[in-house]
């Protein structure tokens, strides 16, 4: 359960960036707070496409990942993002992720 999420994002024309700091703690067993982060930047070469670079990790367990992303928005309310995050140290595994979003409002 996240205790704290800090979100900062900017848009400069076709360039966008975001940084998130996350503090998370297991409430049931009273473990220590785990600090995580996610940061990214993207560029829109065309109206419905974005290419970018994302970094994410766990500061407490020293797991860090970095990789490219590609996003497509076919109709203005639906977005599909595909990304590959490569581990930057021995504690970090590689990941492929896909996110599909639909805006209701």
Instruction: Look at the alpha carbons of 76, 49, 83, 19 in this order and tell me if their dihedral is positive or negative.
Output: negative
Query: How confident is the model over 5-11, as a mean pLDDT?
Result: 61
Q: Is 20 or 30 the better-scoring residue by pLDDT?
A: 20
Which of 15, 93, 11, 19 is CA-nearest to residue 52? 15
Compute the distance between CA of residue 79 and CA of residue 61 in angstroms, rounded to an integer. 31
Please tell me the predicted confidence (pLDDT) of residue 10.
67
Reported confidence tier of residue 7, pLDDT bands at 50, 70, 90: low
Contact between residue 84 and residue 56 where contact means Cβ atoms under 8 Å apart: no
Q: Is 69 left (phi over 0), alpha (psi -120 to 50) or beta?
A: beta
pTM beyond cutoff 0.85: no
The DSSP code for 41 is E
């Amino acid at each position: 359960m996240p205790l704290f999420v800090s979100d900062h994002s900017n848009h400069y024309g076709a360039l966008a960036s975001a940084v998130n700091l996350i503090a998370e703690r297991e409430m049931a067993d009273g473990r220590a707070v785990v600090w995580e982060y996610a940061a990214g930047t993207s560029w829109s070469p065309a109206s419905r496409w974005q290419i970018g670079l994302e970094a994410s990790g766990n500061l407490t367990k020293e797991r860090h990942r970095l990789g490219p992303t590609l996003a497509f928005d076919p109709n203005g309310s639906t977005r599909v993002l595909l990304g590959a995050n490569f581990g930057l140290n021995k504690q970090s595994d590689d990941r492929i992720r896909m996110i599909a979003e639909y805006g209701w409002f």
